[in-house]
Structure 1
Amino acid sequence: MSDKVNRTRRWVLLGGAAAIATGFAIREYRLIPQDYAGGQLDVAEAYKQAQSGDILLVDIRTPREWQATGVGDGAHPLDMRREDFVQALERLTDGNPETPVALICARGVRSARLSNQLTVAGFTNIIDVPEGMLGSAAGPGWMRVGLPVKSYKEDT
């Protein structure tokens, strides 16, 4: 009986370990940005070009994230989860699909994925800011570099 109990325990432990490993693998996959063949900017250059009006910088994070860190100075907060995201972006670009639009998120994962989707949707000049606000493998990010942020107010 004890040999059978030991085998059962072993299978339960192996199953639990496999489930945990699978969970970590899925988490890591979700944190890996998709490849994006379009342009990229580091955060300092994105800030500089947003200030000069050379690009439209769009912070695609959520209102909760904007409240926690603020929005990069010169960036337009536009939650990528909005059902009318593409239409709202079209309004920001005055309907011009060639407008240079740089996307920034927290760590460059969502911005890379959305860059690909917007390119497929017909925007021809999407630029990814892969460092994001919080930093990633691409660099330290907006906050750590010390670029200016503005407070987010719900009605913006």
Structure 2
Amino acid sequence: MTAARRRQPGEGSISQYQTKAGPRFLAKYSYAADDGTRKQALKRGFPTRKAAADYLRERVTSVQRGEHVAPNRVTVEEHFAAWLDGLRQQPSTVASYRKNVRLHVVPHIGALRLEQLTGTRLTKLYRHLETAGRADGQGGLSPRTVRYVHT
């Protein structure tokens, strides 16, 4: 039997821990923060070592390519609030954007963290708005309104 290969510095680590449901694995890696310091990110709950290794490989590669997005807890609703406050558009345009976000975005995906937002979730939101998106519950929105929500 061969000994397990040790990971080199910068490759991250995988650890096993016990839960009531049985053993689980966690993956830990480091990345450069915006201020230049090194930070560590940790993801728990992988059912197998292979699942943790796949996740770790993906994250370390994104760090090396410079594509890594630091984990944070900002929700879609918080992001939109900050974004709308910083817009330099006509007041009527900002009011329209606020209305679309308040009526059609926040009720469906506002509680999601930004890192959980995917193209598939947005497509699902658009399809829902087309079929049952009206605030009064009387059917769907027009394709033009869905396009405005997308904008």
Shared fold (TM-score, shorter chain, > 0.5): no
TM-score, length-scaled by structure 2: 0.26
Which of the two has greater strand per residue?
2
Higher relative contact order (CA 8 A, sep 6+): 1
